[in-house]
């Protein structure tokens, strides 16, 4: 019967211990990261199952022991151990730090220490201290004391050790959860910072309104960093001082007092930050006697400031300032963020300045181009007047109006006429280009026949081809629709292309072709001349451009014909291109709408 009673008692105790362990685990699961309820539950179970009169949890940070939880201690003893204390030689805490499994002894064994004496005076006789360890590092300990002189049993010590292990689990969970929350908070801040930087970067790249960009920087950075206000100042080299540009979170009184304030670079924190090219923290504005804005800032209730300089490659541009009502320095992550925002602000300021300079230069260039075009147009008219007189009188002399001319002077007069006509052609080219650039060349739209236009070009240029012994042909479809456009300009383009083809072709043939498809007609001029290198195919359509070879130089010209032709074709909504290779001839292709719209003329 006695054996049965003993077995029943042991079974009941084992079940109570398992239940207590499970209950503590339940508390750990239900309060992740919160150690207080876990410690309270362990001390409660230690009291009921192990006869612990009083118990404490103390945590150790490597320097100080601090009480984390207390149960059943008299007020005087609780007050005695309530103050943080260090590890002392010969103390039970030192024995735990050396790696002992636990300390179990009469309280009188430690009566020579301050806390030990207080435990004895409180009437406790037995002390049990169990360490809280993680990877051999002492995290703290559990203290269990009782008034009876009877020591703790092995089962009770084992149960209390299991509670200590559970406490370590709870502490580790709390540590990991704390780190997770910290990392999550850091990640959240990083995401917000990236969003802010992206927003500012988008503002920098999408607008040249400097005030809008700086306002975005200020508003978002103040909200992001938890500051109470912010401002941006620009630096003016003329008076070597800083002047307010934009402010967020400022009162009307502060704005009025600072709006017209000149902050000298030699006497201000902004000047100091710009000189060092580094941020400056003013943890307490009241301690800086030389700060020009000191009185106005303090009157507005701001005590701390972070000043980040805006410095470009060549000069100081200004400063970004964050302000806070509480004294103290801003966190390092805030300083880093503001340095990045300062870099973006510098980029925005430089973009705005460069755009302003570019706009001014563009206006100057446009005005100069208009003056040049006007000058060329006027000069071309002025040059044509005396040249026409020279050609007219030369023709009268050749015709014998002023008497019969000897053969030798007559030959000279013919050379004068040939060179004069060549000069007139060059002047006309320059005049056409000048009119196009000055916007004075207008289209005269009318209905016309493409075959008739091609035949008139053939009639005008056929003698030139015959003189060089070239085969010359026009391949036209049987029927072509009536076209609508500026026939005279198209004829001028075609004459230029055919003239070039004949001029540069020494043997073989020149052929004009025409076709219609999809509301457009295409004119082609093909020759068997020397061809054009790939590198020159785009260049030849530029103004005053010629292929630099002996044949070109020998034939002469202004290099304006193709440039003028391209402009005239594009004015009518068409395109001009060339297909060629060296030694294989060339084919110029002009594509134009069958019906040129009035808007084409307006666009020109």
- Asked whether the predicted pLDDT for residue 488 surpasses 80, the reply is yes
The pLDDT score that the predictor gives to residue 290 is: 60
CA separation for the pair 119, 100 (Å, rounded): 21
Lowest mean pLDDT among 72-76, 118-122, 146-150, 317-321: 72-76
User: What is the per-residue pLDDT for 535?
Assistant: 76
| pLDDT (tens digit per residue) in 139-161 | 999 888 888 888 988 888 888 88
Q: What is the pLDDT of residue 559?
A: 58
What pLDDT, in 10s, does the model give residues 269-314? 888 888 888 898 888 888 877 666 777 888 888 989 898 888 877 7
For residue 165, count other CB atoms closer than 10 A to its CB.
Answer: 14
pLDDT given for residue 45 in this prediction: 78
Judge contact between 297 and 254, C-beta under 8 A: yes
- Segment 539-563, tens digit of pLDDT: 787 655 455 444 444 444 455 678 8
Write phi, then psi, for 529 (nearest 5 degrees): -80, -165
pLDDT, tens digit, 9 for 90 and up, residues 97-126: 888 999 999 988 888 887 888 888 888 899
Report the Cα 226 to chain-centroid distance in Å.
24
* Per-residue pLDDT tens digits for 422-480: 676 666 666 666 666 655 567 778 899 999 989 988 888 888 888 889 899 888 888 88
Given this model, what pLDDT does residue 235 score? 86
Among the ranges given (37-46, 66-75, 327-336), the one the predictor scored with the smallest mean pLDDT: 37-46
Q: Residues 521, 450: contact at Cβ < 8 Å? A: yes
Output the pLDDT for position 511: 92
CA–CA separation, 342 vs 347, rounded Å?
9
DSSP state of 102: -
Reported as a pLDDT band with limits 50, 70 and 90, residue 526 is very high
Q: Which residue has the tokens 């630096």?
A: 235
State the alpha helices, DSSP H only, in 84-239: 92-97, 114-121, 154-206, 210-225
Residues 6+ apart with CB under 8 A from 554: none
Q: Distance (Å, rounded) from C-alpha 548 to C-alpha 371?
A: 30
Return the pLDDT at 43: 80
> For residue 22, what are the contacts with CB-CB under 8 A and spacing of at least 6?
none
Q: What is the pTM of this model?
A: 0.39
Phi and psi (nearest 5°) for 99? 115, 5
**Tens of pLDDT along 339-369?**
877 777 777 666 666 666 666 777 777 776 6
Return the C-alpha torsion angle 252, 254, 257, 258, nearest 10: -110
Q: Is 226 helix (H, G, I), strand (E, B) or coil?
A: coil
Query: Mean pLDDT throughout 251-269?
Result: 84
C-alpha to C-alpha distance for 356 and 366, rounded to whole angstroms? 15
Structure confidence at residue 205 (pLDDT): 56
Q: What is the chain's mean pLDDT, rounded?
A: 79
* Highest mean pLDDT out of 202-216, 376-390, 577-591: 577-591
CA distance 418 to 362: 42
Q: 12 falls in which pLDDT band (50, 70, 90)?
A: low
Q: Which two tokens stand for residue 404?
A: 């019969």
Q: Which residues contact 176 (CB under 8 A, 6 or more apart)?
A: none
């Amino acid at each position: 019967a006695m054996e049965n009673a003993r077995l029943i008692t042991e079974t009941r105790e084992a079940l109570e211990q398992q239940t207590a362990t499970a209950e503590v685990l339940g508390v750990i699961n239900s309060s992740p990261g919160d150690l207080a309820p876990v410690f309270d539950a362990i001390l409660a179970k230690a009291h009921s199952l192990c006869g612990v009169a009083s118990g404490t949890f103390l945590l150790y940070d490597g320097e100080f022991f601090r009480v984390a939880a207390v149960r059943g201690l008299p007020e005087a003893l609780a007050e005695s151990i309530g103050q943080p204390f260090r590890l002392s030689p010969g103390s039970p805490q030192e024995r735990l730090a050396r790696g002992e499994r636990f300390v179990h002894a009469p309280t009188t064994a430690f009566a020579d220490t301050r806390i030990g004496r207080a435990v004895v005076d409180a009437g406790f006789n037995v002390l049990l201290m169990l360490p809280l360890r993680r990877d051999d590092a002492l995290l703290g300990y559990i203290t269990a004391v009782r008034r009876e002189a009877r020591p703790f049993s092995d089962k009770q010590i084992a149960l209390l050790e299991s509670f200590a292990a559970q406490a370590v689990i709870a502490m580790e969970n709390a540590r990991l959860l704390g780190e997770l929350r910290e990392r999550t908070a850091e990640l959240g801040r990083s995401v917000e910072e990236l969003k802010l930087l992206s927003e500012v970067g988008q503002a920098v790249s999408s607008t040249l309104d400097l005030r809008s960009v700086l306002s975005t920087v200020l508003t978002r950075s103040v909200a992001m960093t938890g500051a109470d206000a912010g401002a941006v100042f620009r630096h003016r080299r003329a008076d070597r001082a800083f002047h307010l540009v934009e402010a967020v979170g400022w009162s009307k009184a502060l704005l009025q007092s600072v709006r017209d304030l000149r902050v000298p670079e030699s006497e201000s924190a902004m000047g100091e930050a710009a000189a060092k090219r580094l941020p400056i923290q003013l943890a307490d504005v009241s301690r800086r006697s030389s700060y020009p804005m000191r009185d106005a800032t303090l009157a507005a209730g701001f005590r701390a400031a972070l000043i980040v300089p805006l410095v470009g490659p060549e000069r100081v541009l200004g400063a970004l300032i964050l302000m806070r009502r509480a004294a103290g320095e801003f966190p390092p992550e805030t300083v880093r963020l503001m340095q990045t925002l300062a870099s973006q602000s510098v980029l925005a300021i430089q973009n705005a300045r460069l755009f302003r300079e570019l706009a001014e230069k563009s206006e100057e260039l446009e005005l100069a181009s208009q003056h040049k075009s006007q000058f060329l147009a006027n000069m071309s008219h002025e040059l044509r007047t005396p040249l026409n007189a020279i050609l007219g009188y030369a023709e009268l002399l050749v015709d014998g109006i002023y008497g019969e001319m000897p053969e030798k002077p007559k030959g000279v007069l013919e050379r004068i006429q040939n060179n004069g006509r060549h000069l007139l052609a060059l002047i006309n080219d320059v005049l056409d280009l000048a009119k196009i650039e000055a916007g004075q060349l207008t289209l005269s739209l009318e209905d016309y026949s493409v075959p008739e236009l091609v035949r008139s070009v053939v009639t005008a240029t056929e003698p030139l081809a015959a003189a060089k012994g070239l085969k010359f042909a026009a391949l036209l479809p049987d029927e072509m629709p009536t076209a609508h456009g500026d026939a005279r300009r198209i004829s001028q383009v075609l004459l230029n292309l055919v003239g070039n083809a004949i001029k540069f072709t020494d043997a073989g043939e020149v052929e004009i072709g025409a076709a219609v498809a999809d509301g457009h007609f295409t004119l082609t001029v093909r020759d068997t001349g020397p061809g054009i290198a790939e590198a020159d195919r785009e260049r030849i359509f530029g103004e005053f451009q010629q292929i630099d070879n002996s044949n070109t130089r020998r034939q002469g010209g202004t290099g304006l014909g193709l440039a003028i032709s391209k402009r005239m074709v594009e004015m009518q909504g068409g395109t001009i291109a060339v297909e060629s290779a060296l030694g294989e001839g060339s084919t110029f292709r002009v594509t134009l709408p069958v019906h040129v719209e009035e808007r084409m003329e307006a666009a020109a």
